[in-house]
Amino acid sequence: MVAREGTLADSSSETPGESLVPGPRSRAHARRAALVECPAFGHRRSERPGALPEDSAPIVLARAAGCELFDVDGNRYLDFAAGFGSVLIGHGHPALKRAIREQSDLLIQGLGDLFSSDVKVALMENLAALHPSGHGQVLLTQSGSDAVAAALKTATLATGRHGFIAFDGAYHGLGFGPLAACGFQASFREPFAPQLNAHVRFCPYPGVRGASAEQALDLVQKTLRTESIAGILVEPLMGRGGCTAPPLGFLVELGRLAHDAGALLIADEVWTGLGRAGGWLRSSLDGALADIVCLGKGLGGGLPISACVASQEAMAGWASGDTIHTSTHAGAPLGCAAALAVLNTLKAESLVAGASALGERVQTLLRARLGHPRIIDIRGAGLMIGIELDSARTALQTTRRLLRRGFLVVTGGIDGATLTLTPPLTMSEANFAALGDAIRECVEEP
């Protein structure tokens, strides 16, 4: 059962049944939220296909430290979701808090693209160096969706073309630009279809709905031959679509095909990047040199900041026209200071290499604990690990049961059947082992 404040999530001192998940305070807050929040969210929870008859009321979060979260009732959870992967270096990391505090004393908001701040310049230098060329150029943005929108515009300007290749099952954010390229769920696109880029062509992604790399590359090649394609937008490892990694060589081949056709390779590293999936850039780790890289999520360590980082050649398209991609808060100093602290902490604590090695050990330990007919597959890279269960229903039920045991895990995958683990890179191996044992108990529970 869930741990109360002052005990560990896996502590033996807890009293089963002592705490309720969700507790009364969470329920009260959720009732208030239901009156004022857009109904898409509560509706989705209760109407989802295969929704559980049992309680699906949410917990309401109050505070966090390191890898632990606390709800408003004081229940403690080990956080295997980490703000959908954005809390890269843990909640309230001292270096991040210090940077935010110090920047707050100096300058919270600047003047975007008109007058940069000193921290913005420093951050752009760091991000430019992360580009596979070693000297990219940067458009700072505010969300993953915004970074992808900037990338699509960059490729359009660089090539003078409007078509894009995207992939079945991919998720790139829900702004109008990226939404057109979201193969994750057709229902996200359909109501807005007439307003979306009609020049996006979807190709299969290896491992999704049984597609092979050969099938995918074949269709990519045909599409590049017959359509006017500006870029191939790809997740180097499909995150929301179920932590599915394409075979080694796939991304390299995509890059080759794109370049042969005069198109660009756009790596959406919003989720995979910055150590999450085993390298600073998952695409570079696989040997693919993307022209444009999108970063987000973990970049701000929890604050909303993202970036489109492109080769100087790709960015050159912006130099000749009279258009821009910016917004009031783009490159705001507070977010830049947070991002610099995240990048410095990743380096200082060797978290990128650490997460890569830990991820391999974790997959091994999970496989050892999770040999069960309801567990179909364990996959991913670094600390982006998917555990596919036999149905969306089992997955949802398991997350509810895990919550009661003090583990926060969310579901993903194109059919919702995958437990998606994207904890802070500082999560311990022992906590993964405890989670593995708890998942086993949950799937065995009648």
Supply the minimum distance, in Å, between the C-beta of residue 272 and ligand PLP.
Answer: 7
Comparison of 143 and 156: residue with beta carbon closer to ligand PLP: 143
Comparison of 73 and 235: residue with beta carbon closer to ligand PLP: 235
Supply the minimum distance, in Å, between the C-beta of residue 273 and ligand PLP.
Answer: 9
Supply the minimum distance, in Å, between the C-beta of residue 148 and ligand PLP.
Answer: 6
Supply the minimum distance, in Å, between the C-beta of residue 283 and ligand PLP.
Answer: 12
Supply the minimum distance, in Å, between the C-beta of residue 332 and ligand PLP.
Answer: 16
Comparison of 158 and 233: residue with beta carbon closer to ligand PLP: 233
Comparison of 73 and 291: residue with beta carbon closer to ligand PLP: 291
Per DSSP bridges, beta strands 384-389 and 375-381 are antiparallel
Comparison of 171 and 432: residue with beta carbon closer to ligand PLP: 171
Comparison of 22 and 298: residue with beta carbon closer to ligand PLP: 298
Supply the minimum distance, in Å, between the C-beta of residue 321 and ligand PLP.
Answer: 25
Q: Cβ distance 264 to 144 under 8 Å? A: no
- Residue nearest ligand PLP by beta-carbon distance: 144
* C-alpha distance across the termini of the chain, in Å: 16
Comparison of 9 and 233: residue with beta carbon closer to ligand PLP: 233
The footprint of ligand PLP (CB under 6 A) covers: 84, 143-145, 148, 171-173, 235, 239-240, 268, 270-271, 296
Supply the minimum distance, in Å, between the C-beta of residue 304 and ligand PLP.
Answer: 7
Comparison of 80 and 271: residue with beta carbon closer to ligand PLP: 271
Supply the minimum distance, in Å, between the C-beta of residue 106 and ligand PLP.
Answer: 26
